[in-house]
Amino acid sequence: MPPVEERPHRPGTFPACAPLHEERASLRRLPADVTRDCGAPVHRGRQGEGAPRGHRLARGGRGGGPEVEAPPGPPAGGPIDVSAATPNKCPLRILVCIKQVPKAQELQVDPVTQTLKRVGVPSEINPPDANALEIALTLKDRHAAEVVVLSMGPTSFDESLERAVAMGADRAVLLTDRILGGSDTVPTAYALSETIQKIGGYDLILTGEETTDASTGHVGPGIAGHLDLPQITYVSEIRIVDGTVRARRTAEDGTEWWQTSMPSLCTVNFGCNKPRAPTLTGKIRVKRGGVIAHWSCADVGIDPKKVGLLNSPTIVAKVDTIRLPARAGHMFSGEPKETVRALLEALIRDRVIVP
């Protein structure tokens, strides 16, 4: 592994960390001798075949692709709260995008605005995002890595960011601004990608496969598109080997292993691991403060004409509440033959079965 270039910290910015490799190549499958280690059948068709829900596996084709210049470092910052920023001494920086969502069993829709109620409703880290965070923390346990957590939303999202830091993340950034209100996945992917460029020095970006309050799966691939990064979707395991990312991907007919250089982005499958609990040491760090930076759209340089409800192409025309009709039960008693005969007669009468 080449030595890491240390760059001077500029006030008002997250300091950049030199990526492990300055070039990026197209994704490629691993050789057959590698895929045999996974202990599951491996899909060997053309790229994109067998991908769940019609997703392409990655940008680019098989084999090596043209070299692409590495993205520039972060721009000079303005009046940004950088209390959470310290010079990065790690050769690997992992960014994890998370979202605070209402708990699934507590979902409520506002009948007037036709949007989810978020105030006064118990919330949690989006479960697939928590799985992505666990993969990042596992990589941190194995390598010298810095884990930065990023979210976009109101200041109440600090609750989830604090939990992420208590679990083991090094610091967090919250993009919070009123003009972001009502943004759907298109402005969200744009705003997060701009913030990621502001943070700079990233080697690997992780997101959940989707959010439980929208279930679109758009944001992760959207970020990769804005940043022109190779991406691997629906990942359940990631290994860093010789400065490259090797990811196990769950397909409909088995397991695939994919490899790409860094920087790159992966979306993580829901339920692929068990997220760790916050530690006492982590809670003490959060209590001391200085682990979360709040940035506005002006701080990052986000175009107000590209975010918000008015700049979101998604239109919710109607939301219906489905109520299942109550069903009356009927008990059959008596001798087995009589009970079976009575049951069959009832099923025929109700046209459940045809004699």
pTM over 0.75, yes/no: no
User: Among the listed ranges 54-58, 93-97, 261-265, 342-346, which one has the minimum average pLDDT value?
Assistant: 54-58
Model confidence at 200: pLDDT above 80? yes
Would you state the pLDDT for residue 114? 65
Would you state the pLDDT for residue 251? 83
b/e for 8-40, b at 16 or more Cβ within 10 A?
eeeebbbbbbbbbbeebbbbbbbeeeebeeeee
User: Among the listed ranges 92-96, 115-119, 135-139, 186-190, which one has the minimum average pLDDT value?
Assistant: 115-119
Would you state the pLDDT for residue 252? 84
Model confidence at 169: pLDDT above 50? yes
Model confidence at 156: pLDDT above 70? yes
For 307-345, the DSSP string reads: SSGGG------------PPP-------S-HHHHHHHHHH
pLDDT tens per residue across span 29-79: 444 333 333 333 333 333 333 333 334 334 333 333 333 333 343 333 333
Would you state the pLDDT for residue 67? 35
**Mean pLDDT for the stretch of residues 200-216:** 91
Would you state the pLDDT for residue 88? 53
Specify which residues 245 forms β-bridges with.
240, 260
Average pLDDT, the chain: 77
Would you state the pLDDT for residue 213? 83
One-letter amino acid at 196 equals: I
Q: What is the CATH number of domain 23-311?
A: 3.40.50.620
Would you state the pLDDT for residue 205? 97
